[in-house]
A and B are shown apart, each in its own frame.
Chain A
């Protein structure tokens, strides 16, 4: 508690200084922004929350944060309270796609712009929100496919570990990857099963794959956790992950970078949760009357084993 208090005190001083500085420069306004987050169910989401909070602190924005604990009703309540408090703008990471019309109409009537973070929604009238800022899952899959084709010299027997059936991340990452490797005759997906985005299932599925098909020499996992499970299965089968079998996955979490430094994972395509800066840029632009395309794509990067050691210390999630 004590440390918390002193941290708060430092924050207070810093923000006071910022306000002073801003006043001296003559900037007109201190923005008040509401952020309705889904919850804290994964490291990825915690990183996103941290990014929004720290960006707000850096820029001297007053942030009203609400954690919905995976419930849409909590998000709707939070949005209504933001509207009642007359915030300047709202960031929303929607937990589900449907059922947002009413509350977004209320925000629109109050002339409060809403920017969606990391997920989209289904509404008939798309003027209800400014835009969504998300990663492009199809691009991620494509980037993975292209990297693998280059690394394997256009010839590989690939085992694919899919995400949870029905999840947009799983569907689109599969689609993008297939599009990329369709150009190469030698790139074949020989086995494909779901590992439900988890480490334990990634391991179990890979274990079975290795017994069923001895020709597998590459793995494409829809997220890092499944790849980390697969790495264990490959080691237990007496093969060297990263050498005998080339492995690429998506997300770019810290554990994946550690595995790359250890030489066990070859590449990860990042799905960046640090949406704070671009989120505030867009929202404040919208408050000042700018318009944006309905989908602002967060730019992601591809990181391979060779660069991992250099990048690892800078990873925040």
Chain B
């Protein structure tokens, strides 16, 4: 079974698997090019770029970040549904630190990130050391985590004014949103670490066949531990962005449901939930598809009642295009008609 799976993914990998999500993204953008006026219009306002495309990149930042972490977790045949709650906790801690203690920026950034990593480590511990199923392990933190975030902020929205911290969510570096710089950094480092070192291969082998990996000398336990910690870190960064963006921590709503968007992004990107081969670029494209869709819907003013249906239809279309079986059956039908 697993040998088959590996073969299958190896054959299919590289640019070929990415072509379908890419075409999905291109289709959404093309639609806007023709039917949404001003969608591609980018102007310079207050010496930074301003336009719908910039919004897409900026708004996609949290989902892209957590889907980078999620990709690695899923590659080990795991899943982390606690990221939404970790986002809320990270934001809550940062906002409370600013509002209540006036701590310096370094503390405001590092403390939430450290705690997010500890929370990730807790997930990793449950999964790798105790052997709890990943979805259950992270479900615990998903439920408890939001409660913790609400405890930190007393159930209220904690607001703050702190120019340096707000820069994380609202600032511009060389005219582009700073969030894009953050993504580029996290993405670049992760891509390098997993592709230029053996780490990526280890992660994939743990996902394909943990027993064989263990026999070939890979420490399955520590690999799993590391990916969950990394997922916690990514969620922590996303939490800082979310809080900085609205200048406040909204523990009830921050990151709510974002874990599902991240999983969707990973799957749209052509990654299998069974683990094994993974593509970070695929997940990145997946996240961009989701956000382009949202921005399109908001810009065009699709009625609220059908918004979710429209989203679902587009996602289904992308999945169908990706499915080899579906494409073959369509091809077969055409062949039958024209003998």
Query: In the complex, what's the smallest C-beta–C-beta distance from A306 to chain B, in angstroms?
Result: 24
User: How far is B300's CA from A212's CA once the two chains are assembled, in angstroms?
Assistant: 7
The answer to whether A43 and B155 touch (CB under 8 A), given A162-B304, A203-B245, A211-B51, is yes
Contact A199 B300 (CB under 8 A): no
The answer to whether A255 and B55 touch (CB under 8 A), given A200-B242, A232-B247, A238-B46, is no
Contact A41 B155 (CB under 8 A): yes
Query: In the complex, what's the smallest C-beta–C-beta distance from A82 to chain B, in angstroms?
Result: 25
Q: Mostly helix, strand, loop or mixed at chain A's interface?
A: helix
Contact B299 A212 (CB under 8 A): yes
Is A191 engaged at the interface, CB distance under 8 Å to the other chain?
A: yes
Query: In the complex, what's the smallest C-beta–C-beta distance from B90 to chain A, in angstroms?
Result: 14
Nearest chain-B residue to A189 (Cβ)? B301
Contact of B298 among A198, A204, A225, A232 (CB under 8 A): A204
The answer to whether A200 and B52 touch (CB under 8 A), given A194-B304, A212-B300, is no
**How many chain A residues touch B (Cβ–Cβ < 8 Å)?**
31
User: How far is B253's CA from A40's CA once the two chains are assembled, in angstroms?
Assistant: 14
Contact B304 A165 (CB under 8 A): yes
CB contacts (< 8 Å) of B246 on chain A: these are: 199-200, 203, 229, 232
User: How far is B294's CA from A203's CA once the two chains are assembled, in angstroms?
Assistant: 13
Contact B50 A237 (CB under 8 A): yes
CB contacts (< 8 Å) of B155 on chain A: these are: 40-43, 46
User: How far is B157's CA from A196's CA once the two chains are assembled, in angstroms?
Assistant: 15
Interface string of A40-52 (1 = CB under 8 A from B): 1111001000000
Contact B245 A209 (CB under 8 A): no
Q: Which of B279-318 contact A (CB under 8 A)?
A: 294-295, 297-301, 303-305, 307
Contact B301 A212 (CB under 8 A): yes
22 contacts between A and B (CB under 8 A): A42-B155, A42-B252, A43-B157, A192-B304, A193-B298, A193-B301, A193-B304, A194-B304, A198-B252, A203-B245, A207-B59, A208-B298, A208-B299, A211-B299, A212-B300, A225-B157, A229-B246, A232-B246, A236-B170, A237-B45, A237-B50, A238-B46
What 10 pairs across the A-B complex have the smallest Cβ distances?
A: A208-B298, A198-B253, A212-B299, A208-B299, A194-B304, A199-B246, A43-B156, A238-B45, A40-B155, A211-B52
Residues of A within 8 A of B (CB): 40-43, 46, 162, 165, 191-194, 196, 198-201, 203-205, 207-209, 211-212, 225, 229, 232, 236-238, 255
Residues of B within 8 A of A (CB): 36, 38, 41, 45-46, 50-52, 55, 59, 150, 155-157, 159, 170, 242, 245-248, 250, 252-254, 294-295, 297-301, 303-305, 307
